[in-house]
């Protein structure tokens, strides 16, 4: 990270910043429109790859983070007014990006799994015990644990939202990128939560249109997060 960028990040960590969720989505839509066909094509490709993974093995899911780094990279290039090709959707597999994004995916996945262990344990107990289905207290505990687990997963998603963009933009290693993302996002957790809720509502609306709307709302998520990154941190040329 260059000294000027480091000073800017140090300043926003000390002084704080604002995040306009609606503006992020509006700017994300403008990014999406500039290369709409490629974004839709990549989304269709990821759907196909997901089906292949489910049918044959789950190993490709390990590289999901590398795959979904592509829309971030393309969005950044569009904001920088740089030439974009379809190959840029696979920038997460290039050079030093690959191991750092892979490690980020594995670490976040491990943290999420650990957080959800109590839920898995209660679910396993319920499945093994025939009488547990008639125990309202146990079912209530399971419901509460599931709710807490989901809240924790959402919180993890929010605090590490800038990890992959920081790797792509600043060439950071996985742990510094995760830590910096955590420090930045934690300052405006509520604003990021609002952004996530709005994006999920758009995804829900897209799913209602026979799923076809997801071809727009799925890439819009990555474009909006890139817009948020640019709004908070800024992009290097």
The predicted model scores a pTM of 0.90
In angstroms, the CA 171 to CA 4 distance is 15
In angstroms, the CA 72 to CA 180 distance is 18
Residue with more model confidence, 129 or 32: 32
Three-state SS for 172-220 is CCHHHHHHHHHHHHHHCHHHHHHHHHHHHHHHHHHHHCCCCCHHHHHHH
| pLDDT tens digits, 50-104 | 777 666 655 556 788 999 999 999 999 999 999 999 999 999 998 889 999 999 9
| pLDDT tens digits, 201-235 | 999 998 888 778 899 999 999 999 999 999 999 98
Mean pLDDT of 27-53: 91
Residue with more model confidence, 23 or 6: 23
pLDDT level of residue 128 (50, 70, 90 thresholds): low
pLDDT of 127 higher than 60: yes
pLDDT of 132 higher than 90: no
In angstroms, the CA 219 to CA 213 distance is 11
Q: If you write DSSP's letter for every residue of the chain in order, what string do you get?
A: --HHHHHHHHHHHHH-----HHHHHHHHHHHHHHTHHHHHHHHHHHHHHHHHHHHH-SGGGGGHHHHHHHHHHHHHHHHTT----GGGGGGGGSTTHHHHHHHHHHHHHHHHHHHHHHHHHHHHHHHH-SSGGG-HHHHHHHHHHHHHHHHHHHHHHHHTTTHHHHHHHH---HHHHHHHHHHHHHHTHHHHHHHHHHHHHHHHHHHHTTTTTHHHHHHHHHHHHHHHHHHHT----
Are the C-beta atoms of residues 217 and 36 closer than 8 Å to each other?
no
């Amino acid at each position: 990270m260059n000294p000027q960028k480091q000073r800017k990040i140090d300043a926003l960590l000390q002084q704080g910043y604002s995040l306009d969720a609606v503006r992020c989505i509006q700017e994300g839509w403008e990014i999406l429109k500039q290369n709409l066909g490629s974004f839709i094509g990549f989304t269709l490709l990821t759907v196909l790859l997901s089906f292949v993974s489910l049918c044959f093995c789950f190993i490709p899911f390990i590289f999901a983070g590398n795959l979904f780094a592509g829309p971030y990279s393309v969005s950044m290039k569009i904001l920088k007014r740089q030439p974009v090709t379809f190959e840029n959707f696979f920038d997460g597999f290039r050079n030093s990006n690959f191991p750092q994004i892979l490690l980020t995916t594995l670490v976040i996945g491990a943290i999420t799994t650990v957080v959800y262990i109590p839920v898995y344990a209660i679910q396993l107990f319920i499945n093994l015990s025939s009488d547990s289905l008639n125990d309202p207290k146990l079912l209530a505990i399971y419901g509460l644990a599931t709710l807490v687990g989901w809240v924790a997963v959402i919180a993890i998603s929010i605090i590490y939202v800038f990890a992959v963009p920081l790797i792509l933009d600043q060439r950071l290693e996985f742990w510094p990128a995760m830590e910096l993302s955590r420090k930045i996002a934690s300052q405006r957790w509520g604003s990021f939560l609002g952004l996530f809720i709005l994006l999920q509502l758009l995804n829900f609306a897209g799913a209602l249109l026979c799923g076809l709307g997801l071809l727009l709302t799925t890439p819009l998520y990555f474009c909006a997060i890139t817009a948020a990154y640019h709004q908070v941190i800024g992009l290097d040329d």
